[in-house]
């Protein structure tokens, strides 16, 4: 096994979030499904942007958020994702590097613009996402540095990578390299409609042993196993013999490993602002503790703590140093 350079290497769509508060009427008029991520083309993205209010622009991307969160905890993270060399792409690269993450994927010099996600946040804190994939469609196997994959304890993949066809191949190849080097592979299911689009293939990844650790929220898990019963879904996870961390919003999280189950309550919050990134940051906290070989219950608690920070402000990158937050947290004490 090569020397370990990174705790976690994330592979995902490199996206800039364009965020605006909207009311429920706005979603109804634009015929958008609240809480979901839908893919849009450039024309749809422009039309929606025109209709949105003044925005705040911050770096996003599901796996990228996770790795930035992990770095904020003091873990060593690297990220692979494709931007174009435009203003948004430069901002993405700046922000992820400024977060302390290793990022060296070459930007596309032409082709579609850096990906945007138009995030509409309703007063209840729910986010409805509309993603123009742009340059993410140009992520290919060529962008995978085999040495980097082999020298990372965990390879973390987002389900959204299954949307751009070339990225899907890069995903599978990266997982192959990781396992070849004796590493573990984690997958986040990303979004319930993403699971709907790729349900059979995601199940195959789990059952073929391409994925060792699964992150999902409750609805994504239900979509994966095509059930509306949480206990049935958990039983299915046990049968598939995968380590799974399932987030349940204000109900906290459940970790399933073989016959073992660990449940933790949500970390307390004062003010729900924007749920964008809750799952991404849960994974950040979980993997930080996991790569430090801490007990699974503590992994889940560190995840829940990171999620509680992110949902109290706009954007999906932490605004405080998570390592310090963890030191000071009553919620973590004794775990």
Q: Which residues bind a second copy (CB under 8 A)?
A: 20-21, 49-50, 52-59, 68, 86-88, 91, 94-96, 98-99, 315, 317, 319
Burial class (CB in 10 A: 0-12, 13-18, 19+), 253: buried
Query: Shortest approach of a second copy to residue 8 CB, angstroms?
Result: 18
Could you write out the DSSP letters of every residue in 89-104?
Answer: HHHHHHHHHHTT-EE-
Neighbours of 219 (CB within 10 A): 18
- What distance in Å separates the CA atoms of residue 327 and residue 335, rounded to the nearest whole number? 12
Q: Is the dihedral of CA 214, 273, 65, 32 positive or negative?
A: positive
Query: Shortest approach of a second copy to residue 190 CB, angstroms?
Result: 22
| CB closer to a second copy out of 79 and 225 | 79
Token output for 186: 């984690």
Query: Shortest approach of a second copy to residue 35 CB, angstroms?
Result: 21
Nearest alpha-carbon partner for 16 in 146, 113, 139, 154: 113
Query: Shortest approach of a second copy to residue 29 CB, angstroms?
Result: 16
- Nearest 10 degrees: Cα torsion 137, 143, 149, 150: 140
Residue with tokens 């990022």: 103
Query: Shortest approach of a second copy to residue 53 CB, angstroms?
Result: 5
| CB closer to a second copy out of 43 and 259 | 43
Q: Are 232 and 220 in contact (CB under 8 A)?
A: no
| CB closer to a second copy out of 28 and 98 | 98
| CB closer to a second copy out of 184 and 275 | 275
Question: Three-class SS of residue 130?
Answer: strand
| CB closer to a second copy out of 114 and 131 | 114
Query: Shortest approach of a second copy to residue 196 CB, angstroms?
Result: 32
Query: Shortest approach of a second copy to residue 307 CB, angstroms?
Result: 18
| CB closer to a second copy out of 53 and 165 | 53
Cβ-Cβ contacts under 8 Å for 230 (sequence gap 6 or more):
218, 221, 222
Question: Three-class SS of residue 145?
Answer: coil
| CB closer to a second copy out of 111 and 209 | 111
Nearest alpha-carbon partner for 201 in 224, 180, 217, 184: 224
Query: Shortest approach of a second copy to residue 120 CB, angstroms?
Result: 13
- What distance in Å separates the CA atoms of residue 101 and residue 76, rounded to the nearest whole number? 7
| CB closer to a second copy out of 90 and 227 | 90
């Amino acid at each position: 096994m090569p020397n370990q350079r990174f705790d976690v290497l994330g592979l995902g769509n490199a996206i800039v979030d364009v965020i605006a508060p909207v009311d429920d009427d706005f979603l109804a008029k634009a015929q958008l499904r609240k809480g979901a991520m839908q893919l849009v083309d450039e024309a749809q993205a422009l039309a929606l942007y025109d209709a949105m209010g003044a925005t705040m622009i911050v770096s996003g991307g599901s796996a990228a958020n996770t790795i930035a969160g992990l770095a904020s905890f003091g873990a060593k993270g690297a990220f692979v994702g494709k931007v174009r060399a435009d203003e948004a792409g430069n901002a993405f690269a700046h922000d992820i590097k400024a977060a302390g993450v290793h990022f060296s994927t070459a930007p596309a010099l032409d082709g579609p613009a850096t990906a945007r996600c138009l995030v509409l946040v309703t007063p209840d804190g729910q986010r409805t996402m509309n993603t123009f994939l742009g340059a993410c469609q140009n992520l290919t196997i060529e962008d995978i540095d085999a040495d980097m994959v082999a020298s990372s304890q965990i390879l973390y993949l987002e389900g959204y990578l299954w949307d751009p066809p070339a990225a899907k191949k890069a995903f599978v190849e990266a997982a192959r390299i990781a396992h070849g080097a004796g590493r573990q592979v984690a997958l986040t299911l990303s979004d319930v409609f993403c699971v709907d689009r790729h349900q059979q293939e995601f199940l195959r990844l789990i059952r073929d042993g391409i994925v060792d650790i699964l992150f999902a929220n409750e609805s994504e898990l239900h979509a994966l196993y095509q059930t509306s019963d949480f206990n049935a879904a958990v039983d299915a996870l046990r049968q598939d013999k995968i380590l799974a961390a399932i987030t349940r919003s204000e109900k906290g999280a459940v970790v399933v490993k073989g016959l073992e189950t660990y449940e933790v309550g949500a970390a307390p919050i004062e003010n729900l602002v924007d749920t964008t990134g809750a799952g991404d940051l849960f994974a950040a906290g979980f993997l930080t503790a996991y790569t430090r070989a801490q007990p699974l219950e503590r992994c889940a608690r560190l995840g829940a703590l990171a999620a509680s920070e992110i949902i109290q402000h706009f954007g999906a990158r932490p605004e405080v140093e998570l390592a310090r937050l963890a030191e000071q947290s009553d919620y973590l004490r004794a775990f």
